[in-house]
Amino acid sequence: MDSLAATALPDLWDRLSGTQTDPDLWVVLATLVAAVVAVVPHTVWRVSRNAITIAHEGGHGLVALVSGRTLTGIRLHSDTSGLTVSRGKPYGVGMILTAAAGYTAPPLLGLGGAALLAAGRITLLLWAATALLVAMLVMIRNAYGALTVIVTGGTFLLVSWLAGPQVQAAFAYAVVWFLLIGGVRPAFELQAKRRRGGAGDSDADQLARLTHVPAGLWLFLFHAVSLCSLIGGGRWLLTL
C-alpha cells in the first residue's frame, strides 16, 4: 500500500504540473462558436446562465473569506439569481471588495483560465475548477443550489478522470470561452434593468451606498473588467 501511494502521488503531481498539447485551431474556434450559442440566444441563456451565477456567487464568497468576513451561506435559485450571506462590518474595504466581486468574478476566472490554457495547463485548470466547486458546495444552503453545483462539479470530475486529452482540451476551452463571453452579458442586463427603474438593490447600488460613488461608475467598472478580460483572454486562446 505504501509503495502504491508513493507511486501514485508523483504521477498525480506530474499530471497537475505537466503541460498538455494545445488543440488544433479548429477546436478553439468551434468551442468559441459553442460558447456564443450558449450565451446569445435568450432561451439557451436562461439555462446556461446558471453557470455564470455559480461563478458570480462564488466570487462573492471567496472574496468575503479572503477579506476576513465570515461566510455563512450561498443560495442559487432556479431563476438564475443568487444570494451570498457573510457576517462582518457592514462597511469598509472588506464589504466593498465582497460586493464588487460578483460581476467581476466570471470574466476574471475566464481570464485566469485563458492564461492557464495558453501555458498548456489543461489538467490543472480542470482540477482547480473541480476543487473550487467542491469547496463551494460546502457553503450551499438550498437544494437547487446544491444540485446545480453537484451537476457542474460532477461534469468537471468525469471529464478530468475519464475523457481523453482531446476531449479534455475541447471542454476546457469551451468553459473558458463561456466564462469570458458569458461574463459580459450580465452587466448589460443589469444596465437595462436599472434603466427601467429595477434592480434597486443590485451590487452596483450597494456599492454606491457603501462608497458614495455613483452606481453608474460601478457599472462602468463591471463593463470594463468583462470586456477587457474577453479581449485579453480571447487573444491568449487564439494565440495572437
In the predicted structure, residue 17 carries a pLDDT above the cut 80 = no
In the predicted structure, residue 175 carries a pLDDT above the cut 50 = yes
Output the pTM of the full model: 0.92
How many residues make up the chain in this entry?
240
Q: Which of 19-28, 81-90, 208-217 has the lowest mean pLDDT?
A: 19-28
Q: Give burial (CB, 10 Å; 0-12/13-18/19+) of 36.
A: middle
82-87 and 70-76 strand pairing: antiparallel
Look at residue 198 in the predicted model and tell me its pLDDT.
77
Give the pLDDT mean for 26-38. 98
Instruction: Decide: helix, strand or coil at residue 69.
Output: coil
Mention every residue, 6+ apart, whose C-beta is less than 8 A from residue 141: 73, 74, 75
Give the pLDDT mean for 122-146. 96
